[in-house]
Chain A
Amino acid sequence: MYAIDHKDLGTPAAASGESVTLDIDGSTVTVPVGTSVMRAAALAGGQIPKLCATDSLKAFGSCRLCLVEIEGRKGFPASCTTEVAAGMKVRTQSARLQKLRRGVVELYVSDHPLDCDECPANGHCELQDAAEELGVEGSRYANGGATQRGVAQDASNPYFVFNPDLCIVCSRCVRACDEVQGTLALTIEGRGFDSRVSASQHQPFLESECVSCGACVEACPTAALTEKLPLSLGAPTEAVSTTCGYCGVGCSLKAEVKEETVVRMVPNRAGTANNGHACVKGRFAFGYATHADRVRSPMIRKRITDPWREVSWEEAFAYTAAEFKRIRKKYGPDSVGGITSSRCTNEETFLVQKLVRAALGTNNVDTCARVCHSATGYGLKHTLGESAGTQAFTSVNNADVIVLIGANPTDGHPVFASQLKRRLRQGAKLIVLDPRAIDLVRTPHIEAVAHLPLRPGTNVAVMNALSHVIVTEGLANDAYAEARCEVDTYRKWKAFVADPRNSPESTEAISGVPAALVRKAARIYAAGPNSAIYYGLGVTEHSQGTTMVMAIANIAMATGNLGREGVGVSPLRGQNNVQGSCDMGSFPHEFSGYRHVSDAATRSLFEGAWNAKLASEPGLRIPNMFEAALDGSFRGLYIQGEDFVQSDPNTNHVVAALSAMECVVVQDLFLIETARYAHVFLPGSTFLEKDGTFTNAERRISRVRKVMEPLAGLADWEITMRLAQALGYPMHYSHPSEIMDEIARLTPTFRGVNYEKLERLGSIQWPCNDAAPEGTPTMHVDSFVRGKGKFYVTEYVATSERSTSRFPLLLTTGRVLYQYNVGTQTRRTSNLAWQSEDRLEIHPDDAEDRGIANGDWVGVTSRAGDTVMRAVVSRRMTPGVVYTTFHFPESGVNLVTTENSDWATNCPEYKVTAVEVVRVGHPEAWQERIRAERSAQRSPAMPSA
């Protein structure tokens, strides 16, 4: 069932810009060329009965319920598969049509009795609606019940149930899996009355290839596929548009609520980031918002060894402010700082950095983007002029060649992956640079033309080799590069990459990628004609993360693949508001809009607006804060929505730093791992409990709307505001829209953004200003933001983290579809049904050498530390490389990762850690303790969503 406020138009919109006018039931209708008669009728306010059609799927023409009469045409064409034509005269209602439609419905009802009163879809069933409209109450062909009556329900999926008894075999679910999600997990097996929907090879949904995106459930016209939660909570009564709180795709969702309880989450079909699709996290995994583990009262303690004491908000703010004032007085203003959260709204991150700069008087503010995409900001700013991706997601629909580097979208950005897969099935070529054979390398109807399984840490060598081929084989677009870029830097770069040391034959020994494969990939990329690069943390989380981002920008500029649809450089941002938190001035060296704190004019602007003297020197980054804490010069930290202890590298180092501080304030939903080292806990709010905006990976600013009151009483922006007031700094807003107005006043790229415009347009891609009042889908169209594009020489510098006889394997880390980041949210949902622990993937050869079998406990040791986890023996791995995730605290993955970091931004080198792996008997005692704590937390209170 689609969203309760959705008016379904039957077939998708036509893309044509040309119009055609026709007559439907005596009314004149003008619609785009290519529109179906069914959609045209719906747009004109009518409604033709239908069962197999819905506007998220291509017309199928199967149910024969939507027949119409068209003057001059024989028979009764199906309106879903018939395109409009100029001058066409259509009748959607007549006695003959009624008779035919009644006959069709009778046939359906013969195998699907109208026991509507007992059906969970009563009132929301399209077959019921059709029967009522046509006056069908039974069937002349009834055989006494559904053929499939008695066939067992499949309730294996934690979020939805499949009841074959209620299925009309319309194929909408199968088509949704094919067309919308692109997994092709469903099929119709059998013939005639024996036809039935089957997941994979007639497996339970949970065990099948189904990725639980829910597109099939939404497409189902009856109750054959139904969400479980509405069955227990009742039907929703209201739909509120909002934006997903998980990954950087930023899906537009409708939260369907019943008395402030979210019953369903349905993707918004008008959502421009997701075009009506969602994934298992966004659609189903929202139960954490009301989980019993949520902390509902502020808490304080003098020492981290003391028990927590619940206090009022007033006492918590007064205590925190007093502590920060004491520390500042004793150690100076630079002894304190704050961290903004990429999971919070733009308005909230803006307020935290404002509090740090204006109320605490220091630039010691940073954000969790430090450990993911900070290299993107630096690299793209210096080459192209703006710290953001260049395209809208829909740009991929015009790409001929797609290069995926260090990203695994089917797990990390699943809704974009569906869009990507659609384009690949249409014939676009895929090139993958990744040590692992990620799913997209070979998946139904998709096979990469080239997979470059490079050794971790050798990205830059491979990118230089690709550039070498393009330059030395005359494949560069000199005309574009010399017109649009700094000619001297372009020529210098060409000479650099053309050097024999950068040839694929030379770099093969470094990267392990055969030279012929590099040459093939380079030629395909250069040939385009539209070649697009999408990349993830496999690019940025390296000691040369920034260099690699620059190398990507170089190759795109050299081949003219920037400034139009279908091309570009697109970072796939990890968290929902990583782009936004960076835009909002969360980095210690710059204000919102990426303007350096040393710039006197910018500083003066903010000083005037904030009525405070602002520091002109850059502040400490997160890893610098830890170092300063250990030397005693950094003593107080306000952390909004970030779990350092689980997410940051070298956990022992992080713990030592936090333990050395005098006042650590954690503002979060749950008692996260970092809270073990906190003195103040301020209970935060989920995205369902507040208003605001998120900015996704395509620079799209979208509204977040409150659907329930904050469980602890205050939204995060209110907490920051109250803390600022307690510190003696006046900060007064009555609604986040006022904060956005201030952001717009102070930030050139946001100058035209306001809530009224967001309401009107749905979303806005920045820059949004006088030059682009409705935003900017594609950047750098006529010229680069910095004027001329700048090429940088990107010499490959090997990381100091190398495999040795002591640590012969390279560990790289990532994420899986069902869990999110450190798992704070998803570990408190039924997504545990798919993944309940982090596991170490290891190649069979490496496993055999070590006597490791699938499922064995293995010890993983690096120079930083060691941990224990279960092994998965997998041919997806390259020999010599092991892989794991970091979703569960008991896995202790970051005990192993090191403090190595990107030269420019200190983004940690999570992707390369030299390790040894050995078979062990059991996990460590501390791991068993944390696992037991988690189990105890979730067992009694596990919600159904």
Chain B
Amino acid sequence: MNIERLVTMANDIAAFFASEPDPDAAADQVANHLRKFWEPRMRAEIRGSLEQGGNGLSPLARRGVERL
């Protein structure tokens, strides 16, 4: 999996949920979307990326990935 592409996708998802004023709820919504629509190896890749610093992830995308 191209991690740059996955990071872009995660950031796009986070950009939609960023309008949620409660940061916890926003992160939950990002994580929930990833769980419902991302195939396990994609989630594993993005989690792995986060463990290595999460380069490129927006703050909200990062919080969402942390909850996977």
* Interface positions of A (Cβ within 8 A of B): 334, 363-364, 496, 543, 546-547, 588-589, 596, 598, 617-621, 624, 627-628, 630-631, 633, 793, 795, 797, 800, 899, 901, 903-906
On whether A903 and B41 interact (CB within 8 A), knowing A596-B36, A618-B36, A630-B2, the answer reads no
Q: Check A906–B40 contact: CB distance below 8 A.
A: no
Closest to B43 in A: A617
Q: Check B38–A795 contact: CB distance below 8 A.
A: no
Closest to B2 in A: A627
State in angstroms the CA–CA spacing of A633 and B33 once bound together. 23
Query: Inside 8 A of B2's CB, which chain A residues have their CB?
Result: 627, 630-631
| Any A CB within 8 A of the CB of B18 | yes
Which B residues from 1 to 28 make CB contacts under 8 A with A?
Answer: 1-2, 5, 8-9, 12-13, 15-16, 18-20
Q: Check B39–A797 contact: CB distance below 8 A.
A: no
State in angstroms the CA–CA spacing of A617 and B15 once bound together. 24
- What is the CB-to-nearest-CB distance from B11 to chain A, in angstroms, rounded to a whole number? 9
Q: Check B1–A627 contact: CB distance below 8 A.
A: yes
State in angstroms the CA–CA spacing of A797 and B11 once bound together. 11
State in angstroms the CA–CA spacing of A598 and B40 once bound together. 13
On whether A795 and B19 interact (CB within 8 A), knowing A543-B12, A627-B2, A904-B33, the answer reads yes
Query: Inside 8 A of B9's CB, which chain A residues have their CB?
Result: 901, 903, 906
Query: Inside 8 A of B16's CB, which chain A residues have their CB?
Result: 546-547, 795, 797, 903-904
On whether A628 and B41 interact (CB within 8 A), knowing A589-B36, A904-B33, the answer reads yes
Query: Inside 8 A of A631's CB, which chain B residues have their CB?
Result: 1-2
| Any A CB within 8 A of the CB of B42 | yes
Q: Check A617–B40 contact: CB distance below 8 A.
A: yes
State in angstroms the CA–CA spacing of A904 and B32 once bound together. 12
State in angstroms the CA–CA spacing of A631 and B39 once bound together. 15
Query: Inside 8 A of B5's CB, which chain A residues have their CB?
Result: 627, 899
Closest to A363 in B: B39
On whether A793 and B1 interact (CB within 8 A), knowing A598-B36, A619-B39, A620-B39, the answer reads no
State in angstroms the CA–CA spacing of A449 and B13 once bound together. 36
* Interface SS majority for chain B: helix
Closest to A362 in B: B39
On whether A795 and B41 interact (CB within 8 A), knowing A631-B1, A904-B33, the answer reads no
- What is the CB-to-nearest-CB distance from B41 to chain A, in angstroms, rounded to a whole number? 6
Query: Inside 8 A of B13's CB, which chain A residues have their CB?
Result: 903-904
Q: Which of the residues B8, B39, B41 comes within 8 Å of A588, measured between beta carbons?
A: B39
State in angstroms the CA–CA spacing of A545 and B33 once bound together. 16
Closest 10 CB pairs of A and B: A903-B12, A793-B19, A620-B39, A797-B15, A795-B19, A627-B1, A617-B40, A903-B13, A903-B16, A631-B1
Q: Which of the residues A496, A618, A628 comes within 8 Å of B37, measured between beta carbons?
A: A618
On whether A903 and B15 interact (CB within 8 A), knowing A627-B2, A628-B1, A631-B1, the answer reads yes
Closest to B18 in A: A795
Query: Inside 8 A of B40's CB, which chain A residues have their CB?
Result: 334, 617
Q: Which of the residues A363, A624, A793, A899 comes within 8 Å of B42, measured between beta carbons?
A: A624
Query: Inside 8 A of A633's CB, which chain B residues have their CB?
Result: 1, 41
Query: Inside 8 A of B33's CB, which chain A residues have their CB?
Result: 904
Which B residues from 27 to 52 make CB contacts under 8 A with A?
Answer: 33, 36-42
- What is the CB-to-nearest-CB distance from A225 to chain B, in angstroms, rounded to a whole number? 53
- What is the CB-to-nearest-CB distance from B14 to chain A, in angstroms, rounded to a whole number? 9
Query: Inside 8 A of A793's CB, which chain B residues have their CB?
Result: 19-20
Query: Inside 8 A of B41's CB, which chain A residues have their CB?
Result: 334, 628, 633
Closest to A630 in B: B2
Query: Inside 8 A of A496's CB, which chain B residues have their CB?
Result: 19
State in angstroms the CA–CA spacing of A830 and B15 once bound together. 47
Which of A598, A624, A628, A901 counts the most chain B CB atoms within 10 A? A624
- What is the CB-to-nearest-CB distance from B25 to chain A, in angstroms, rounded to a whole number? 12
State in angstroms the CA–CA spacing of A901 and B37 once bound together. 14
- What is the CB-to-nearest-CB distance from B61 to chain A, in angstroms, rounded to a whole number? 11
Give 11 A-B pairs besides A624-B1, A628-B39 with Cβ atoms closer than 8 angstroms: A334-B39, A547-B16, A588-B39, A620-B42, A627-B2, A631-B1, A795-B15, A903-B13, A903-B16, A904-B13, A904-B33
State in angstroms the CA–CA spacing of A598 and B34 once bound together. 13
**Would you mind naming 23 contact pairs between A and B with Cβ atoms under 8 Å apart?**
A334-B40, A364-B39, A543-B12, A618-B37, A618-B38, A619-B39, A620-B42, A624-B1, A627-B5, A628-B1, A631-B1, A631-B2, A793-B19, A793-B20, A795-B16, A797-B12, A797-B16, A800-B8, A899-B5, A903-B12, A903-B13, A904-B13, A906-B9
